[in-house]
Amino acid sequence: MIKRIGILCLLFAVIAPAPVYASTAVIAGSGSGAYKSARLTPEIYNNADKYLTSLRLKDEDGNDVPYCLNSVASETKSSSEKKYRLSLENSYIRGSSAIFEFSLGPEDLKKISGGEIINATSINFHPAGGANFAKTANLYGSLDGNTWRLIKNSLSLYRVDGAPDLGYNSKAGAVENLEITFTRPEKYTIYILELLLDVPSPAGQPRFGAAAPLPEVSFDSAVLFFREAAFEREYFEREFSPPFTLSEDSGDTIVTLPGTRHLRVKSVTIDTDSVFQREVISGASRQTLYNFNWGGENPVSSLTFLPAAQPLDDDMTLRIINGSDRPIAIKGVSVAYYADEIIFPGGGGGAYTLYFYGSPTSAPVYDIASYKDKLIKNGLDELYIDNITIDETTQGARDYSALFNIAVFAAAALLLAVLLVKLKRAS
């Protein structure tokens, strides 16, 4: 029995095939850099699996070459900052706390009454004196001075003289932490800073109660900041004109775009002289396209359809809702899509071949992906894809490794069970 199970496992190991790569592409070109890049073409997207997990790169000796994919051509960061000054309206002692109440100035309050929304991402407090301190604080906000919300508690505020000037302190030679950053933008007009004192005052005073002598630590103003950072990314874009086909379904025109399978389509532009305004549907996207051109000098048209830019399961189709009208005459279609580039070490030169097939598998994990941005910044030799060979007969090839691992585990469990039964009988 045990011998039969072992033979069965060996037979499965021999029969279960490794992934069969149905298609290949040669990465051509040259350069003196240590790292190369090449832009993927629509043919690769069409015949690889949807999320490109089946890509494998090999050198001329058949060795695996580590790679990563990149779709961002450039990235820029922009930032903006607005300031709103707060004046000290009141300060007093409440129990074991010193209370400082700040409010927006009249000019900013006029902006709010005019409809402007004043958001803040942080607040910075300005100490009135030069004393050193380190205190625990709580921060409250209000719109009317009656209803208060705790914004942050158990904060550490401090200021220490005699330290090196690091260039960001309110006083040279001081190290300080006087700015409180909010977890979300706030739009309050009144703020209360509560400093927890070391020695409590007499009990019985109301929450925002009678004035009492303030400690040596005090503040005379504060500033609200609204800081906003924005990232602008430009992606690799390519455009081509597929040999589209037209068909009719329930009076609507169906435009099929071969060669768009698995592409992240950015836009589809129709070339037509017809005057029309029609609803156009593709997947979950629905838009109105129109062309008001009566032969004048100022035509008005919107002939570009913008889909969701997600990898398509199949070739893209557009359904043009004709209603009772005749179909429009389409002369041509252009498709813009987002492309990826493959990045890999290629300092040794030689030929590189990209293998891919239509069935998904476990994507390889290379550490080149973790320092991809540094490679892009240092510069890459741009190569190109050439000699694409598509093998239609093996597009259904699958990766049986997971199934094989399950079968081996099951066989091992069965062998263990048989051995335990034999040992039990022997005892």
> Which region holds residue 32: left if phi is over 0, alpha if psi is between -120 and 50, else beta?
alpha
As given in the structure block, the two tokens for residue 236 are 């690799």
Dump the DSSP string for 271-305: EE---EEEEEEETTEEEEEEEE-SSSSS-EEE-EE
Residue type, 153: N
Nearest-Å Rg of the Cα atoms of the chain is 34
Q: Which residues are bridge partners to 20 per DSSP?
A: none
Residue 190's pLDDT is what?
A: 94
Dump the DSSP string for 110-148: HHHHTT----EEEEEEEESS---EEEEEEEEEESSSSS-
DSSP three-state, residue 419: helix
**Which H/E stretch holds residue 15?**
helix 2-15
CA dihedral sign, ordered 247, 253, 259, 263: negative
- Beta-carbon contacts of 412 under 8 Å, excluding residues fewer than 6 positions away, are none
Question: Could you say which architecture CATH assigns to the domain 78-231?
Answer: Sandwich (2.60)
Question: Could you say which architecture CATH assigns to the domain 237-338?
Answer: Sandwich (2.60)
> Which region holds residue 420: left if phi is over 0, alpha if psi is between -120 and 50, else beta?
alpha
What is the chain's pLDDT, residue by residue, as a tens digit (427 residues)?
Answer: 555 555 555 444 444 444 455 799 999 888 888 999 999 999 999 999 999 999 999 999 999 999 999 988 766 667 788 999 999 999 998 888 999 999 998 888 888 877 788 889 999 999 887 778 888 999 999 999 899 999 999 999 988 875 444 444 445 556 788 999 999 999 999 999 999 986 554 444 444 433 444 556 888 899 999 988 776 667 889 999 999 999 999 999 999 999 999 999 999 999 999 999 999 999 989 999 999 976 666 678 889 999 987 888 999 999 999 999 999 999 999 999 999 999 999 877 778 999 998 888 888 999 999 999 999 989 999 999 999 998 765 444 444 445 545 655 666 666 666 666 666 666 6
Lookup result for tokens 């609507």: 252
Nearest to 60 by CA among 21, 28, 31: 28
Residue 276's pLDDT is what?
A: 94
* Residue limits of CATH 2.60.120 in the chain: 78-231, 237-338
As given in the structure block, the two tokens for residue 270 are 């129709």
- Pairing state of beta strands 381-390 and 300-302? unpaired
| Phi, psi (deg, nearest 5) at residue 294 | -105, 25
- What's the pTM? 0.57
Q: Are 390 and 43 in contact (CB under 8 A)?
A: yes
Interatomic CA distance for residues 263 and 285, integer angstroms: 16
Q: Which residues are bridge partners to 68 per DSSP?
A: 343
As given in the structure block, the two tokens for residue 145 are 């001075």
DSSP state of 64: B
Interatomic CA distance for residues 44 and 21, integer angstroms: 12
Interatomic CA distance for residues 261 and 290, integer angstroms: 26
